[in-house]
Amino acid sequence: MQRAERVAVDFPMPSRNFAATRRMLLIVLAVSIAFPLACLVGYGYFDYQRRIADSNNMIDRLARVTEEQAVKVLDLNQQMASRIVEMLGNADDAQIRSRETELHDRLREIGGDFPQVSSIYLLGAKGDLLVSSFAYPAPAMSIGQREDFLSAKAMRPQPYFSLPMFGPLSKTNVFTTATGRSGADGQFLGVVTVALRNQYFSRFYRELTEGDPALVLGLYRQDGSVLVRYPPWPAGAKPTSQSAFTAALRDKQLFGHVRLNSTVDGVERLLAFRRVGDYPLYVVSAYATSAIFDAWRRHFLLIAALTAVPCIAIWLLVFYSLRQLAGERRAWERWQGEVAMRLSAEASSRQLQRMGALGNLVANVAHDFNNLLMVVAANMELARLKRYNNLEKEVLAVERATASAESLTRRLLSVARKQPLKQEQVDLARWLPAAAPLIDAALGDNVEFVLNMVDNVWPVLADPTDLEFAIMNLAVNARDAMPRGGRFVIRCQNNRLVGSDTLLPDGEYVLISCTDDGEGMPDAVARRAFEPLFTTKLRGSGTGLGLAQVLSMCEQAGGTAKIDSVPGSGTTVRLYLPRHRERKATAAVEAQQQPAPTPAGVVLLVEDNEDVAAGVTAVLETFGCEVRHEPTADQALDVLSAGARFELVLSDIQMPGKLNGIDLAEKVRSAWPSQKIALMTGYADELERARRLGVAILAKPFNIDELHALVACEP
């Protein structure tokens, strides 16, 4: 009975954590929403950038095709004009008029079979029409004050391309190529003009576009004037002459891409342009970004719909699971209530049984206790009757009854217990006087120090710390060479080297001569003075690295060092450092050529070491910059080629992949001259090649101030 009772009381209630299961289902729901959405947004962004890049490639190909067609036409025109000029020789107006019949036939023979040629005509020195391939005899007319005649006269023998016009004889839209003629003495003899049909170019452009209304092809003059455009501008439209495109034409760029809003129809377009050979003309291919966006949007909506199908299925499954879980929880709670009621009823039943057993026990105990009391009472009465004589037996009976009572008490009580170099511009006119006290202290009290400097000493580009170390090495060597005292003289002056024996290229250098009047050295020692670890000092007195450091500092700055010494007369060490010129003009040009402004505060970090990348990212973020990290230069180039621009591209030099950091810098400088880029490295491999690019170089480990100076982000 007791064993069965214990099993019923200790029955373990099964546990079920519905809150944890619900949290897990909600996490699955959140992930099933956030992850596909993030993937969809990422895909949409990169797909749009890919379409922009594909569109740029397409308009670039079309620009190449239109350039080839224009070059062929214009080269043919140039040949025809040259042939006609050669045929006319030094003939004046009267001589040409006398040969009108012959020249008319020759002009028709030269240009009559070419579909692009509307007419060829000859103009006299005053602009009078002399001969025309279109009409015979030539009608009496003069264009002496017309812009194309005056410009051809001024530009001869270079051809001049006129603005579009309506031909008075051919009754069609044309533009002309006018070539001025000069006599043997340089006298102006007239103009040979070839009129080209606009329709010929428009028809060719229409075939290339295949009727795509988003595509635009055109032929422009270098001043931005439109010669031919398909589709044509609306009637009365006046394109502005101030835009990034016209600025690129005026700068005579050979080719390029711009993104601009049309001042005529307000449409934003991607535009590619190329110069037509050596002519002052440009072909243009443009594509409306709205068409790119519409195609991207349709594709993106399709992908979104396809992505939504499995996502919706997952969401419905999660919602169904949540609903089932709620129902299961309610059933579980009801079951728990029923179990609790059953257990409570069983507990009540067991309690009644206990109480009944206890009642029986108490009744028995009371009965036995009364018996014991009866013994005590009886024996005490006997003792009284015997006047308490001969009471041994009675007392023993009381003791036995007392022991039995204690045993009974014990029975009742038992029932009741229940976690590379840092170069900068150095102004020697200020730097050397500032370093003089330190040099004087290194020389000691026995050596006199003299500093001679000319006025207007040129600045140099060097590491100030290395330069100071080099001068101090020379000062210490001079002090050791003059144990009994002497003079140490530093002379600083500008120097132009032409055919010198220093093996340096001709140019402008700053010469720092350090001379002492000490013991000097023989030729054999002087020839080896710059060798590392070579020293003439006693063992333990020198390392042989002082002069080697001096030469290394000069060579890393682009110069050299030479030593001249005469035993007993002293030694002179000459430091040649190239003059440093600031590239203000280049910076101005790059500023003019800079494309549309880039989003400020975004830095592209190119670093294969995840630890280094994390550290640099943290530093940049303290400056208020947003950082995009790419582990290789190949991936970084793909990002830039896709159209992304950054406040700064900060790249390591040594990285896995086809390109290293210097290769990336060369490509960025070539393709995007205005893109700011800096390199960082832990050793000096290929640093000379990097310096020729003119980019900033951070030597690891670099401090925060150096990195802060490169970025324009504001926190």
User: What is the domain partition of the chain in residue ranges?
Assistant: 71-290, 424-578, 584-710
| pLDDT score of 671 more than 60 | yes
CATH number belonging to the domain at 71-290, selected among 3.30.450.20, 3.10.130.10, 3.40.50.970, 2.102.10.10: 3.30.450.20
**At 58, is the pLDDT very low, low, confident or very high (cuts 50, 70, 90)?**
very high
Lateral strand order in the sheet of 268-275: 226-230, 215-221, 281-288, 268-275, 255-261
At 365 the pLDDT is 57
Calculate helix-pair angle for 289-385, 18-88, nearest 10 degrees.
Answer: 170
CATH code of the domain occupying 424-578: 3.30.565.10
**What does the block give as tokens for 235?**
């009637």
At 498 the pLDDT is 83
pLDDT tens track for 282-323: 999 999 999 999 999 999 999 999 988 888 988 898 888 888
- Cβ atoms of 224 and 252 within 8 Å: the answer is no
**At 418, is the pLDDT very low, low, confident or very high (cuts 50, 70, 90)?**
very low
Q: What is the mean pLDDT of residues 673-693?
A: 72
| pLDDT score of 419 more than 70 | no
| pLDDT score of 444 more than 90 | no
Q: What is the mean pLDDT of residues 65-77?
A: 91
| pLDDT score of 61 more than 90 | yes
Domains 71-290 and 424-578 share a fold: no
Q: Pick the residue with more confidence: 351 or 510?
A: 510
At 493 the pLDDT is 92
On average, the pLDDT of the chain sits at 80
The CA-based angle 550-553-555, given to 5 degrees, is: 110
pTM across the whole model: 0.45
| pLDDT score of 415 more than 50 | no
Rounded Cα distance, 291 and 215, in Å: 9
At 686 the pLDDT is 58
In this structure, CATH architecture of domain 584-710: 3-Layer(aba) Sandwich (3.40)
Range scoring the smallest mean pLDDT among 370-379, 390-399, 424-433, 522-531: 370-379
Strand-pair category, 570-578 with 560-566: antiparallel
Q: What is the mean pLDDT of residues 77-87?
A: 89
At 516 the pLDDT is 92
| pLDDT score of 134 more than 90 | no
At 53 the pLDDT is 92
At 538 the pLDDT is 58
Q: Express as a percent the part of the chain with pLDDT over 90.
A: 18
Q: What is the mean pLDDT of residues 83-98?
A: 88
